[in-house]
Amino acid sequence: MHSYKTPRKKPLFSKDSLLWMMFVSVIFLALVVFGSYLYYKSSGYQDKLTKVESSNKILSESVISYEKEMKILKMQSVLSQEVKSSNMLLKNSIKNLFDLVPDQITLTKVVMEKYMLHLEGTTHTKDTYRLLLEPPLKSIFNTSKVNFKFNGLIGKYEFTSINSMSEDGQEEIDGKK
pLDDT digits (tens, 9 = 90+) for 59-69: 999 999 999 99
CATH topology of domain 101-174: Gyrase A; domain 2 (3.30.1360)
The conformational region for residue 134 under phi > 0 = left, psi -120 to 50 = alpha, else beta, is: alpha
How far apart CA 107 and CA 30 sit, in angstroms, is 104
Please, which residues have CB within 8 angstroms of residue 142's CB and are 6 or more apart in sequence? 164, 165, 166, 169
Strands 143-151 and 105-112, bridge-based pairing = unpaired
Does the pLDDT value for residue 177 go beyond 60? no
Helix (H, G, I), strand (E, B) or coil at 126: helix
Does the pLDDT value for residue 32 go beyond 70? yes
In the predicted model, what is the mean pLDDT of the chain?
86
Q: What does R_g of the chain's alpha carbons equal in angstroms?
A: 50
152: how many CB neighbours lie within 10 A of its CB?
6
Q: Could you tell me which of 125, 74, 122, 80 has the C-alpha nearest to residue 101? A: 122
Sign of CA dihedral 52, 53, 55, 56: positive
User: Looking at the DSSP assignment, which residues form a beta bridge with residue 163?
Assistant: 117, 144
How far apart CA 177 and CA 166 sit, in angstroms, is 14
Residue type, 137: L
pLDDT band at 100 (very low <50, low <70, confident <90, very high): confident
pTM, entire model: 0.49
> Under a CB-based contact definition with an 8 Å cutoff, are residues 158 and 122 in contact?
yes
How far apart CA 74 and CA 87 sit, in angstroms, is 20
Cα separation of the two ends of the chain: 133
* Structural domain spans, the chain: 35-100, 101-174
